[in-house]
Amino acid sequence: MEFRLLGPVEVVSNGQVLRLGGAKRPALVVALLLHANRAVALGQLTEALWAAPPRAAESNLRTYVVGLRTLLVGAGEDGSRVSTDQRGYRLEVRPGELDLDTFEALAAEGDQALARADTPTAVRRLRAALDLWRGPALAGLVGGPYLGMEADRLDQRRLQVVRRWADAALAERCHEQVATELDPLVRAYPTWEGLWGQLMLALYRCDRRAAALAAYREAYQVLTRELGVLPGQALQELHQRILAADPDLDPPPPDTPVRTALPRPRQPPANLVAPAGRGEQFGTLDSLLDTLDWDRPAKVVITVLTGTSGIGRTTLEVQWAAARPAEPFTGGRSQLSLRGSDLGGAAASPYDAVRGLLDALGVAASQVPVTPDTRPGLYRGVLAGRRISVLLDSTRAAEQIPPARPVHRTGRRR
């Protein structure tokens, strides 16, 4: 069987699309598929099927479930796939049957390839994931507000993958394809600034500078009219760079090597002697390592050291980070100054910070997205599965801190 959510809702048996009929049975199928192989409580199903549940909602649900079983048996399938227990109803989905699961698996493979800076593989995997979409998620479905929110969530998820595919495709000099793919998407989702930025860059690389500038003007008009805001810093900077014909916007040379293995950064230098009189502070910082459970990769410890300029924060940070044994941080140690203490100087933006950290992690410059606001996705992918310490020094404001929480994958996402 095949269960399809990435477009109009479909159930396929032996190559034939089953007639689900009515409005409530498709909604029931979707509600069960969104929690495939898990029991869904009656309250959740009621919220999925009705905006205002009728008095006989529970009785109606039982009728729809019986009808779904009958439909499966009539198509030569096992009606026991739809089971019930005291917790609710459950729909059995086997590996490879649900397009959403296949989409997420391919997207994860693409993310892993991006983390290795293997953009050719990333392009193929992410493109294969996107090719599963047949239109807006759950298109044509009539149900309660829960399903509407789920449809929006799935569409947002699709756009996230589109953006990562576009980054990888631009790195592979596929700018014409990116321009073709993104043009209708920015019309459908005009408030996604990142899509406008990638479209502008693709057009510029297609020697369509005027079209790239026109795209910015259109984005500007949409954002000011629909949201009452100006384009963000990243989009404005890209606009200025296109106006100036910045050579760094040109596509990478065709013979640019692709890294498949990233080095371990060695920042700061190891085996420095602890400064005198800082034993108590060192002990406090050492205790943070005791909170780490290396068998639970989702555990992330974030620590902030504060104080006035000149009291030795940087010395303490660097000396402690360098003096710790290297064994826990098998992925390396990275350090970056955000220039917050530079008098009269410009503090580093979060996009600059991510670029510096990617450099330290050995990601080739040609593999770093030109549109700055998409860099954190690559950085999180690079950190995925690695034990690494990251020291961000001289921070002036919280806004400088890059969105750098790593991506952890412990199973299939639903």
User: In the predicted model, is pLDDT for residue 54 greater than 70?
Assistant: yes
**What value does the mean pLDDT take over residues 277-283?**
70
**What value does the mean pLDDT take over residues 300-325?**
66
Domain annotation covers residue 137: yes
Tens of pLDDT, residue by residue over 150-189, are 999 999 999 999 999 999 999 899 999 999 999 999 999 9
Domain annotation covers residue 1: yes
Task: Give the pairing type, strands 16-17 and 10-13.
Answer: antiparallel
Which range is least confidently modeled, 98-112, 236-250, 346-360, 361-375? 361-375
Residue 100 has a pLDDT of 96
Residue 308 has a pLDDT of 67
Are 287 and 342 within one domain? yes
**How many domains does the chain contain in total?**
3
Residues in Cβ contact with 288 at an 8 Å cutoff, skipping those fewer than 6 apart: 301, 303
Task: Determine which helix (DSSP H) or strand (DSSP E) holds 90, and give its type and residue range.
Answer: strand 88-91
Domain annotation covers residue 260: no
**What value does the mean pLDDT take over residues 94-112?**
94
Question: In which band, very low, low, confident or very high, does the pLDDT at 355 lie, cut at 50, 70 and 90?
Answer: confident
Are 159 and 59 within one domain? yes
Which range is least confidently modeled, 186-200, 225-239, 279-293? 279-293
DSSP strands (E only) in 299-386: 332-337
Question: From CA 25, how far away is CA 350, in angstroms rounded?
Answer: 47
Domain annotation covers residue 72: yes
Domain annotation covers residue 261: no
Select, from the ranges 49-63, 256-270, 370-384, the one with the highest average predicted confidence (pLDDT).
Answer: 49-63
Are 18 and 129 within one domain? yes
User: In the predicted model, is pLDDT for residue 413 greater than 60?
Assistant: no
Are 15 and 134 within one domain? yes
Of 140, 163, 186, the domain-final residue:
163
Tens of pLDDT, residue by residue over 113-155, are 887 878 899 999 999 999 999 999 999 898 888 899 999 999 9
Residue 339 has a pLDDT of 65
Token duo for residue 329: 């941080």
For residue 213, give the amino acid letter: L
Are 218 and 295 within one domain? no
Domain range for 371:
279-400
Domain annotation covers residue 405: no
Query: In 10 A of CB 342, how many CB atoms?
Result: 13
How would you class 71 by CB atoms within 10 Å of its CB: exposed for 0-12, middle for 13-18, buried for 19 or more? buried
Token duo for residue 85: 């227990």
User: In the predicted model, is pLDDT for residue 414 greater than 50?
Assistant: no
CATH number at residue 210: 1.25.40.10
Are 139 and 191 within one domain? no
User: In the predicted model, is pLDDT for residue 407 greater than 50?
Assistant: no
Residue 21 has a pLDDT of 83
Question: From CA 41, how far away is CA 316, in angstroms rounded?
Answer: 53
Are 361 and 283 within one domain? yes
Residue 390 has a pLDDT of 75
**What value does the mean pLDDT take over residues 72-79?**
89
Domain annotation covers residue 270: no
Residue 409 has a pLDDT of 36
Of 130, 163, 196, the domain-final residue:
163
Domain annotation covers residue 354: yes
Are 152 and 295 within one domain? no
Of 129, 163, 197, the domain-final residue:
163
Are 18 and 107 within one domain? yes
Which range is least confidently modeled, 34-38, 162-166, 399-403? 399-403
Are 18 and 138 within one domain? yes
Residue 329 has a pLDDT of 66
To the nearest 10°, report the CA torsion of 68, 45, 31, 105.
Answer: -130
pTM: predicted TM-score of the whole model, two decimal places: 0.68
Are 37 and 128 within one domain? yes
Tens of pLDDT, residue by residue over 224-269, are 999 999 999 889 999 999 999 999 899 877 765 544 445 555 555 4
Token duo for residue 301: 């410890």
Are 190 and 84 within one domain? no
Over the chain, what is the mean pLDDT? 81
